[in-house]
Amino acid sequence: MLYAMIAKDAPGALQTRLDTRPVHLEHLKSLGNKLVFAGALLNAEEQPEGSIVVFAAETLAEAEAMAAADPFVPAGVFASYEVKRWRIAINNTSVEF
């Protein structure tokens, strides 16, 4: 099953996000195949203002544990985050970014 973590950054957290990013990325890499995709939500100035991370997990509790283990959480980057069951409706991964 797939679960999405939708996170919004705390006001003024950009520097903390940048400082914590290397360990955040290592954490995501450590998830292996349980990480489906991840990326920052960007504001009008192309600066990060949140994140979306999609996990493959057996249960909501497992996905919530993966989200809570993200170094951005204890560092205070996120003002809030939630983990929701997610279903792919269209998979057009051939689109170039």
3.40.50.2020, 3.30.70.1060, 3.40.50.300, 3.90.1150.170: CATH of 2-86: 3.30.70.1060
The CA distance from 64 to 96, in Å, is: 31
Q: How confident is the model at residue 94 (pLDDT cuts 50, 70, 90)?
A: confident
| Predicted local confidence at residue 55, as pLDDT | 96
Q: What is the pTM of this model?
A: 0.90
HSE (side-chain half, CA atoms, 13 Å) at 51: 28
The CA distance from 20 to 13, in Å, is: 10
| Predicted local confidence at residue 97, as pLDDT | 65
| Predicted local confidence at residue 93, as pLDDT | 77
Mean pLDDT across the stretch 57-66? 97
Q: How confident is the model at residue 68 (pLDDT cuts 50, 70, 90)?
A: very high
